Structure 1
Amino acid sequence: MADGVIPAETEARPAERGLTYPFAAPPASGEAIRVAPDVLWMRVAMPMQLDHINVYAVRDGDGWAVVDCGLAIPGTKDEWEALLSGPMGGEPVTRVICTHMHPDHIGLAGWLCERFDAPLLMTRLEYVMARMLLADTGQTAPESGAVFYRAAGWDEPQIARYRKEFGRFGTAVSTLPAAYTRMREGDLIRIGDHDWRVVVGEGHSPEHACLWREVDGLVLGGDQILPRISSNVSVWPTEADADPLGEWLDSLERMKTVFPDDVLVLPSHGEVFRGVQPRLDALIRGHRVALKRLERSLREPKRAVDLFPALFARPVGDGVRGMATGEAVAHLNYMLHRGAVVRERDEDGVDWWRATTKREEAA
């Protein structure tokens, strides 16, 4: 090992559910694994159950293009300082690429861009959404949010907590640059000696960018293709009737036609892996199974919060209640848009959902 860079492993671990993991272990703090020519896999910590984000550096002339950044919280800058001076050899960041706008991906983007006078690359919807959420930081919660969560079955103390915690997006995100370079579906981005094709997905976020180096089959998968967990797919109060699960499933189906199975996927969480086709199949199948469980559960009217046991393998605590509610409503909206459920709001403003017999009648 030189300068904190661990050379690529040559022996894969045994296949797990159709996936193989070419590296014995992920990189430790301050270290990097060279996963392919000119590409470093690194990690920074996060203070939550999902305790890390993978970040990547791609050789770009005399410096590095960085993909995703980690949260803007105490300690993360120190980790970056160790990476910049160690595995990245003290060479400059030439550009900052963010797959999407969630805080663990864009948190330190502004800091890196400012420090190195580097451009920020994002898709348009991700950049605009991030700027919108940053504008909410420190603002009073809108009443439409309380209406949304009351309809989902939250009680008044839970709604009071929503009001208290509203506008915290910017607490872990440094100020974004006032301008950016747009990435679009199908764009070819030249980084160093190779082109990377932009492949856009929807559902987890509005216009999530994956990057595919076709010459040797590398895919920077962001949160779109994770090896062991499924990304959160949620409806939020700003667009209460949205159908992100439909968009997510359509994106996964389309990616099955795009990526060959021998690509090496570099995800934002978990470990680098091969086996993109079985993983896409598993992600799709997981939601299809969940929808069937919901249909059975909704033979009697239920609120969104009543469906947590049908969707999640563990109890839902206050810290993840918002995401769990958003995911439940995403599944319900998917079914509603396709005529599989009906929704009725009672005099207390609570939505009650039940399965229809439409499909049985059609048969």
Structure 2
Amino acid sequence: MTEIARSLPGQQPTGRLPADGGAGAPPPAELSYPIPETPDFARTLAIAPGILWLRMPLPRNLALDHINLWLIEESDGWTVVDTGIGTAETREVWEQVFAGPMGGRPIRRLLATHYHPDHMGSAGWLCDRFGITLDATLTDWLLARSLSLTSDADYVRGALPFYRSAGADDGLLGMVAQAGNPYAKSVGQVPLQVRRLQHGQTLTLGGRAWHVIVGEGHAPELATLWCPAEKLLISADQILPKISPNISVWSSEPEADNLALYLASMSRFQALPPDTLVLPSHGRPFIGLHRRLEALAGHHRDRLDQTLAACERPATAADLVKVLFRRPLDRHTVFFALGEALAHLNHLWAGGQLVRETDASGVTRFRRA
């Protein structure tokens, strides 16, 4: 176990992703949860006429044990939003859903909100099974295609200097070299074709109009879906009720200011009505959208203050992890923590509040301007 991947005293490594995937969850705002029940895996619960909530299990090495998928009844079958991770276990659950809640009726349309494996991992299998084309944003589909086709060797060749620059020690760098490309191991074949989703587009799903609102930061071009008739927002991972979406910087774009993108795109949801029922990918459907938006913005303001204070002396991203995280980190979670630390450092650097210097060994340190 490496230095920054050690548990805090008296605690054991969880082997799971931190609940928020990032630098601590903000305190839950005053939200209401109007649906008291939670469906069992492979079972559904009606959210509105013809709109079903399906919970799909996730692998045990992840902090979150489920992803919420959404089934919308059509006259000749179903529209499905998101797919579950690309594993045999997920396919077994889908077989139960096909025979059970879906009543043997086919999937006619499949939407993936973004490229992450729990959302797009089974897309290729579902598209092949039902002879359909995937709906997704072009950026996230292209990224999924690229990552799924990247060899272990090429992934490691890009990742090692990135994590070395972040201040990772030899133990973490060894993990990167050994693990190879983690994305390709969590998805099946990404579909070869896509039907593009764009911000502002209107779709007809289940006889209702749904408007695409694109969020950024958590993923490059994440598609959420707003149904005015039912006051429903399928928010995917962009807005979650009790945990903060992971906002990270990754090796493919090391100077990205993804936090700026996230905060800016959240303004697109401010005009939605206060009684909107938010359907998140993790956790329970809730009312209190605007309170949640403010809580998430406040969370990142607090983290930026902590980051700036920590950089009174030169600090690497690995140094900042120890400041921002007060929970166990293991060999899986530490990479999300590093990515989140870099997101906050890059945001302050882009805004001129930090300067950065890279030494002869390739390690980058940030300090207050």
* TM-score, scaled relative to structure 2: 0.89
1:310 counterpart residue number:
323
Amino acid at match of 1:117: G
Give the Cα separation in 2 of the matches to 1:253 and 1:314: 30
Number of equivalences: 340
RMSD: 1.3
1:343 aligns with 2:356: yes
Amino acid at match of 1:283: L
Deviation, structure 1 residue 167:
1.7
Q: Which consecutive residues of structure 1, in runs of 5 or more, have no partner in the other structure?
A: 1-15, 357-363
1:204 aligns with 2:213: no
Give the Cα separation in 2 of the matches to 1:304 and 1:265: 34
User: Mean alpha-carbon deviation: is it higher for 219-228 or for 139-148?
Assistant: 139-148
Deviation, structure 1 residue 278:
0.4
Q: Which consecutive residues of structure 2, in runs of 5 or more, have no partner in the other structure?
A: 1-27
1:251 counterpart residue number:
265
2:25 counterpart residue number:
none
Amino acid at match of 1:150: R
Give the Cα separation in 2 of the matches to 1:201 and 1:70: 20
* Secondary structure class of the residue paired with 2:293: helix
Give the Cα separation in 2 of the matches to 1:214 and 1:95: 21
Deviation, structure 1 residue 151:
1.1
Contact 1:94 1:119 in 2 (8 A): no
1:81 aligns with 2:81: no
User: Mean alpha-carbon deviation: is it higher for 154-163 or for 324-333?
Assistant: 154-163
Per-residue CA deviations over 1:116-148 (Å, capped at 9, x if unaligned) read: 112210000010000000111444435342111
Which residue of the other structure, out of 163, 172, 180, is the alignment partner of 2:186? 172
Contact 1:140 1:163 in 2 (8 A): no
1:129 aligns with 2:143: yes
1:20 counterpart residue number:
32
1:105 aligns with 2:88: no
Give the Cα separation in 2 of the matches to 1:214 and 1:313: 40
- Residue identity (%): 40
2:313 counterpart residue number:
300
1:153 counterpart residue number:
167
1:222 aligns with 2:240: no
Give the Cα separation in 2 of the matches to 1:29 and 1:333: 39
Which structure's relative contact order is higher, taking Cα pairs within 8 Å and 6+ residues apart?
Answer: 2
Which residue of the other structure, out of 49, 53, 64, is the alignment partner of 2:67? 53
Give the Cα separation in 1 of the matches to 2:158 and 2:242: 35
Per-residue CA deviations over 1:6-63 (Å, capped at 9, x if unaligned) read: xxxxxxxxxx622111122321012111011110001111122111101110112221
1:264 counterpart residue number:
277
Amino acid at match of 1:314: R
Per-residue CA deviations over 1:205-263 (Å, capped at 9, x if unaligned) read: 0000000111121111100011111111111111111110000010113322x322211
Give the Cα separation in 1 of the matches to 2:129 and 2:150: 25
User: Mean alpha-carbon deviation: is it higher for 341-350 or for 305-314?
Assistant: 305-314
